Amino acid sequence: MTLELRWFFPGALPNAPRRWIDVVLPGPPVVPAARSDLYLVASGRDDVGLKLRERKLELKLRRRSAAFAGRNGSVSGVPELWEKWMWSYDRETDVDRGFARQARGLRLAVRKIRRRRKYEVRRGFALHPIDVEHEAERAVLVEVTDLVVLGRRFWTLGFDAIGPDRNVDTILARAVEKLLAAFPRTPRLSSGRSFGYPDWVMRRLGKP
């Protein structure tokens, strides 16, 4: 499971948050990665995420969510605990035929350019930079991503905390506090812009 905290904003990714993740945060050089995800929408269910990406079918269910506020009150959001399942397939037609082509139901294609950093959480909650593909028992992944959907541009800032259930909330809170210390003053990170991808996708489709 991962505990995720995310904010969405309209428009192209500004220079300040791009520089924050590319230059200001510690770690190896960031390599932007482009991809396209196809979201399959369960209307009225922002606690269910289903998408196709890179020959994988991913399902995730939200187990809980709660309000979050930073110590100084300048940051607020809604962390969500997600449980995920993933199925990889060899031939693109196996799943593409069933879900992407001649299919019923709501769906939305989202193009992304992701910038990510990952930190292993060590003794005393020290954050040690590691490769984004490296697995660690306690870690936090931070990303800033350009989005294009239905011809419009957006961007998102997100944190994913990984760790034992008993302290994953603390891992997220400590990481957010440390990593956002040098984040630009604008835009404001508020609860009104904080939700998961399933909710955001339904908003783009005009589905409550």
Q: Is residue 172 left, alpha or beta, with left meaning phi > 0 and alpha meaning psi from -120 to 50?
A: alpha
Mean pLDDT for 13-27 is 97
Q: For 178-198, how does the pLDDT look when each residue is reduced to its tens digit (9 = 90+)?
A: 999 999 988 999 999 999 999
Distance between CA atoms of residues 149 and 10, nearest Å: 11
Of the chain, the percentage scoring pLDDT greater than 70 comes to 91
Mean pLDDT for the chain overall: 91
pLDDT band, very low/low/confident/very high, at 205 (cuts 50, 70, 90): very high
Distances (CA, A) of 96 to 55, 74, 104: 9, 44, 13
Mean pLDDT for 52-70 is 90
Query: HSE on the CB side for 106, CA within 13 Å?
Result: 15
pLDDT of 119 above 70: yes
Which candidate, 55, 58, 38, 36, places its Cα nearest to that of 100?
38
Q: Which residue segments constitute the domains of the chain, with CATH numbers given?
A: 2-204 (2.40.320)
Q: Which pTM value belongs to this model?
A: 0.92
Residue 121: its pLDDT value, please?
96
Q: For 135-150, how does the pLDDT look when each residue is reduced to its tens digit (9 = 90+)?
A: 999 999 999 999 999 9
Q: Give the best-scoring range by mean pLDDT among 29-38, 50-59, 91-100, 104-113.
A: 29-38
pLDDT of 93 above 80: no
Report CA torsion sign: 94, 100, 103, 106: positive
